[in-house]
Structure 1
Amino acid sequence: MIQNLKSFDRRDSALVLAHILFAFFALFLGGIAGVMQGLVRGGMLALPMGIGYYQLLTAHGVLMALIFTTYFIIGFLYAGVARTLGGRLLPIARNLGWLGFGLMTLGTAIATVEILLNRATVLYTFYAPLKASPAFYIALVFVVVGSWMSGFGIFINYRYWKKTHRGETTPIFTFMAVVTMLMWIIATLGVAIEVLFQLIPWSLGWVDTVNVVLSRTLFWYFGHPLVYFWLLPAYMCWYVVIPKVIGGKMFSDALARLSFIMFLLFSIPVGFHHQLMEPGISNVWKFVQVVLTFMVVIPSLMTAFSLFASFEMHGRSVGAKGLFGWLKKLPWKDVRFFAPFMGMLIFIPAGAGGLINASHELNAIVHNTLWVTGHFHLTVATSVALTFFGITYWLIPAMLGREMTPLMHRMGIIQTIVWMVGMFFMSGAMHTVGLLGSPRRTAFTTYQDSADAVGWMPYHVAMAIGGTILFIGVVMMIINVVMLLSAPKGETEFPIAEASEAAEKSPAIFERWGVWVGVLVVLILVAYSVPVMDIISNASVGSKGFKTW
């Protein structure tokens, strides 16, 4: 049973708010880059002062996909760990959180400066042989190591709680936080190896060339679990927070924990499905990792079943009749529910698009087109972003001892609708024109008035319109955050749902971390050891660095 806390320790609140507010600062900067990028691609804007399109593309991707998400997630996880493990963080966990925040902020500042000075125009994936300055890669090291410090703080707090509560089941929020940070730390080992042992020596001139296939393989070892690093905190909200917000209970504590363990096991050894068009990797190993990729569908469907079961159970308990009568009992005027629920709904087509991207033959059609960009924006920029916005509406007041007003709920719902309208135009146009062959990662061009390219232009204009509406949504969200900071004094609950009385108790083996990490290591070795040895032993002469913009 989670104790009913009236307020947070001010020191913990300061740590959480530092992360959350910096996240929204990065969102705003990334939004500026994004709207300018969209207007350029639609042929509606010529960039001033020598600013490059690919500079904007890099800044947009890094600030929104990496910085906004990482800061928000760490702040959210620290808040939940403090809430569920006794009411406050251990001093060492709090200090590690601040150390992590400082290192990440230093790295973010350096990386942003390098991008703005056009010394790191290497896109969000910083793919070799595109070459950035050494400072950019070193900055990435600071960001990754800083996130590790925050993760270690969560682990230490969890370990202390287990020692002082022997035989007790870990609160589900903390269990999920441990899974999320464990996956993050194991996944970032790949990108850390890439940056430390390939990209930094290469950028410093210590070596002349880089093994491009190996660097991309190490990136995507990290790149796909990065998607689930974004998604798992959203799932935490869906599983644990939303049932409480609607006045119900979780359908099953054990099912939720099992789904997170399955995400941990099957989210990492699957990076090759991002490299299906990559030469130099055997199709056999691509097939193995595609099979593992499709295993992720199972916990996703478990999640969908559990969530809608929670909704229906609550609706029936308050008198809902008929097949879908429970829908009427949901709190549609409460933005804490409305925004994440919209994120859930959007994840249905987003997840379906992911299955297409992971299918070898279909991927060959859409791989290098705007379809992929549209899919990416449905997942992280809609399902994840809207859920994070929904969390923000109660998290900031809970940290500050304030409460939302009806006006704030209305503003939040309007912002959510604006965001969805913008994404309908932008992502819908991306998906459609991607199927018509329009490539991603390119600035405005008509390819010398090619008939195909001219036919794409109305969709590019629709993308620009959608991007502009989304930027309005960004500005509205920033205004909402400012309103939350100055909301009336009061009490706001940190909503943590309890499991249904009819639910089965969670098995103790779910917290045998050695078992699950051991299984994960075996899967990683099966999926990667032979192909990586082949990439290294049969390496070509490598590639020199290129700066094309």
Structure 2
Amino acid sequence: MFYPSAKLKVDRRDGKLAMAHFFVAFTALAIGGLAGLLQTLVRSGKFELPAGIGYYQILTVHGVVLGLVLTTFFIMGFQIAATSKTSGTLTNKQRLAGWIGFWLMTAGTVLAAIMILLNEATVLYTFYAPLQAHALYYIGLTLVIVGSWIDGAAIIMKYAEWRRKNPGQPSPLLTFMSLVNTMMWIVATIGVASTVLFQLLPWSLGLVETVNIAVSRTLFWYFGHPLVYFWLLPAYMAWYVVIPKVIGGKIFSDSLARLSFILFLLFSIPVGFHHQLMEPGIDPAWKFLQVILTFLVVIPSLMTAFSLFATFESFGRSKGARGLFGWVKKLPWGDARFTVPFIGMVAFIPAGAGGIVNASHQMNQVVHNTIWVTGHFHLTVATSVVLTFFGVSYWLIPHLTGRTLTKAMNKLGIIQAVIWVIGMTFMSGSMHAAGLLGAPRRSSYSEYGGAAQALEWIPYQVAQAIGGSILFLGIILMLYIFINLAFFAPKGEQEFPVGEPADDAEKAPMVFENWKLWLGITVVLILFAYTIPFIDLIQNAPPGAKGYKLW
């Protein structure tokens, strides 16, 4: 399907907006990566932090900066560039919204980071009550959330403009996907915004003495699980739309891609209780319901796997491949734009299996609050998602800066991915193994002294330190590639690859563009899954908890 408004190159003004997001994202990669390295070294028992820096302080930096800042800024930059490419240059009003959102997000990030560095917000990635941060930390988080809404408004406005100009036509696929992810993000962040604005911020200001912990944790996980899909869907965008063009093939099915994104919108939000299976105060029946809804998300994931490998096989067969796996040899393994995201795809197989364990009633009891969960996150967001983001960077950064991906940088990109896989094998593999032995999720070695059980975990913690060191080398290499592609690569025209559906594919039905229907179903599912449990949590709340500092 050809979209008349699609351009060969993203407008220079839109490119500057997207690149501003990427500069913050890769700065976050450097800071968060260093914090992660220090964290693994401390946990090995072979290293002590200097200058009175606390272990949980760097743990908070690592989780917040990489899990929230890096991902949010990269995703928004990618989606703005993708929307501009496929639906046309942003208007001045749309671009202004993007810049306002960007600067609000940046200001909020700086404010929150200062509080963490001053040890006034050592509350970990989840900032659970009764851990209490300085009010400025919560204000910073609020600015990040509100800024992301305004940033996303630019995408929504551009989509609405395209639909007005092209009535009766399905929107460009990348724009459609960007819109779905933006809408999911806005609906999901209502939860974390609510707990920050109405619970944690008044509490930290001393306006209220206590906070309902069960409600705050439930609101966080209302947001926390769709956050995972907010990370993942931009990777799916690259897998569905970009990779087919990179390999020289076609998108297997435009309609299947749209349906899978709609299903993620419907089933990713009303499932937060599967992160709270071990918590009191929530009726087991409602936990069970949300576990079922969680498993429904497997459906669009399997649809994606089918569609992607159908694309790969169709391409291979078109090049003369024979036999069951002959098509594998026809794929462009020397192209970092394909190979690096493909490694991310493969990593998502064990990552998805681990997610099924986490969401299961009985198996969750084995791994709950152990470092297995951390290992799972490192397979999903830190491998599948991050490697795909790196693969996107290899063509998107030079496209936006008017440069080209050289053979040297392409080769270096593949080397970087191999280093990343080796490091993550040590890191995530040892985390999963130690978690099965009961190693806690966030604790440092020094807290356990010479306890016999702690001694059992030492080999795995040393393996994590080895993996963390290798991964940090991968981060340094990625930062070098980014700087080269942004400032020093040869001038030229780098393609923004956008795939087209197969010639015999049917036109996507317009029902996918019916947002009253899809958002309406989403709201109904959320109300069904959360209304009665929330009433129970409020009516039967235990005495509120006062705050304390972790470090």
The TM-score with structure 1 as length reference comes to: 0.99
Gaps of 5+ in 2: none
1:79 corresponds to which residue?
81
Q: Which residue of 1 aligns with 2:521?
A: 519
1:387 correspondence with 2:420: no
Contact 1:370 1:440 in 2 (8 A): yes
Q: How far apart are the structure 2 equivalents of 1:294 and 1:19?
A: 33
Report what 1:137 is aligned to.
Answer: 138
Contact 1:6 1:491 survives alignment (8 Å)? no
Cα pair distance change 1:400/1:548, threshold 3 Å: closer
Counterpart Cα distance in 1 of 2:404 and 2:546: 56
Which amino acid letter does the alignment assign opposite residue 331 of structure 1?
Answer: P
Q: Deviations over 1:193-219 (max 9, x none)?
A: 100000000000000000000000000
1:446 deviation in Å?
A: 6.6
- Asked whether the equivalents of residues 446 and 454 of structure 1 are also in contact (C-alpha less than 8 Å), the reply is no
State the alpha-carbon separation in 2 of the partners of residues 443 and 459 from structure 1: 13
Which residue in the other structure is 2:70 paired with? 68
Q: Which residue of 1 aligns with 2:340?
A: 339
CA RMSD of aligned residues (A): 0.9
Query: Structure 2 CA distance, aligned partners of 1:35 and 1:192?
Result: 31
Aligned to 1:102: 103
Query: Partners in 2 of 1:91 and 1:448 — Cα distance?
Result: 60
> What residue identity is the alignment partner of 2:243?
I
Aligned to 2:440: 439
- What is the correspondence of 1:280-319 to structure 2 with a 5 Å cutoff? 280-319=281-320
C-alpha distance in 1, partners of 2:37/2:112? 20
The amino acid of 1:467's aligned partner reads G
SS in 1 for 2:281: coil
CA contact (8 A) 2:445 2:454 kept: no
SS of match in other structure, 1:18: helix
Q: Is the contact between residue 397 and residue 484 of structure 1 (CA under 8 Å) also seen in structure 2?
A: yes
- Cα shift readout 1:405-439 (whole Å, capped 9, x = no counterpart): 11011100000000010000000000001101111
2-structure distance, mates of 1:262, 1:524: 14
CA contact (8 A) 1:446 1:453 kept: no
* One-letter amino acid of the counterpart of residue 66, structure 2: M
Give the counterpart letter for 1:494 in structure 2. F
State the alpha-carbon separation in 1 of the partners of residues 166 and 7 from structure 2: 19
Cα deviation for residue 364 of structure 1 reads: 0.5
Residue identity in the other structure for 2:157: I
How far off is 1:535 after superposition? 0.3
Partner of 1:419: 420
Please say if residues 187 and 226 of structure 1, whose CA atoms lie closer than 8 Å, have aligned partners that are also in contact. Answer: yes
Instruction: Report the 3-state secondary structure (helix = DSSP H, G, I; strand = E; otherwise coil) of the residue aligned with 1:118.
Output: coil
Instruction: Tell me, yes or no, if the aligned pair for 1:202 and 1:210 is still in contact at 8 Å.
Output: yes
Query: Any stretches of 5+ residues in structure 1 without a counterpart?
Result: none
Structure 1 match to 2:368: 367
Partner residue in 1 for 2:258: 257
Q: Give the CA deviation at 1:450.
A: 2.1
Deviations 1:36-92 (A, max 9, x none): 001000112100000000000000000000000000000000000000012x11111
Please give the alpha-carbon distance, in whole angstroms, between the structure 2 residues aligned to 1:433 and 1:178: 40
Asked whether the equivalents of residues 19 and 71 of structure 1 are also in contact (C-alpha less than 8 Å), the reply is yes
1:271-325 CA distance string (max 9 Å, x none): 0000001111111100000000000000000000000000000000111111101
Tell me if 1:14 matches 2:16. Answer: yes
Deviations 1:73-117, CA, capped at 9 Å, x for gaps? 00000000000012x111111111100110000000010000000
> In the alignment, which residue of structure 1 is the partner of 2:475?
474
Partner of 2:500 in structure 1?
A: 498
User: Contact 2:170–2:509 (CA<8 Å) still a contact in 1?
Assistant: no
Answer yes or no: is the 8 Å Cα contact 2:100–2:150 preserved in 1.
yes
Q: Separation in 1 of the partners of 2:119 and 2:8? A: 49
Q: Residue 127 of structure 1: SS of its match in structure 2?
A: coil
The amino acid that maps onto 2:471 is: L
> Is the Cα contact below 8 Å between 2:8 and 2:496 reproduced in 1?
no
Residues 41, 443 of structure 1: 8 Å contact kept = yes
The Cα of 1:447 is off from its aligned counterpart by: 2.6
Partner of residue 40, structure 1:
42
Distance 1:237 1:519 in 2: 27
**In structure 1, how many angstroms separate the alpha carbons of the residues matched to 2:116 and 2:3?**
45
Structure 1 counterpart of 2:37, which letter?
A: V
Whole-Å separation in 1 of the counterparts to 2:8 and 2:489: 17
Amino acid at match of 1:262: L
Partners of 1:451 and 1:131 lie apart in 2 by 33
Distance 1:6 1:202 in 2: 52
Give the stretch that moved more between structures: 266-275 or 435-444: 435-444
CA separation of 1:34/1:448 partners in 2, compared to 1, >3 Å: closer, same or farther?
closer
Is the counterpart of residue 248 in structure 1 residue 249 in structure 2? Answer: yes
Post-superposition offset of 1:501: 1.4
Q: Is the 8 A contact 2:9 2:85 kept in 1?
A: no
In the alignment, which residue of structure 1 is the partner of 2:323? 322
Structure 2 matches for 1:21-60, cutoff 5 A?
21-60=23-62
| Match of residue 230 from structure 1 | 231
Q: Which residue of 1 aligns with 2:222?
A: 221
- Please say if residues 251 and 500 of structure 2, whose CA atoms lie closer than 8 Å, have aligned partners that are also in contact: yes
Q: What is the rounded CA distance, in whole Å, between the counterparts of 2:506 and 2:362 in structure 1?
A: 42
In the superposition, the TM-score normalised over structure 2's length comes to: 0.99
CA distance in 2, matches of 1:548, 1:66: 21
CA contact (8 A) 1:26 1:64 kept: yes
Question: Are the equivalent residues in 1 in contact too, given 2:249–2:315 (CA < 8 A)?
Answer: yes
User: Which residue does the alignment assign to 1:122?
Assistant: 123
Q: Secondary structure at the match of 1:445?
A: helix
Structure 1 counterpart of 2:181: 180
Identity of aligned residues (%): 62
Measured in 2, the distance between the counterparts of 1:453 and 1:504 equals 59
Return the match for 1:548 from 534, 547, 550.
550
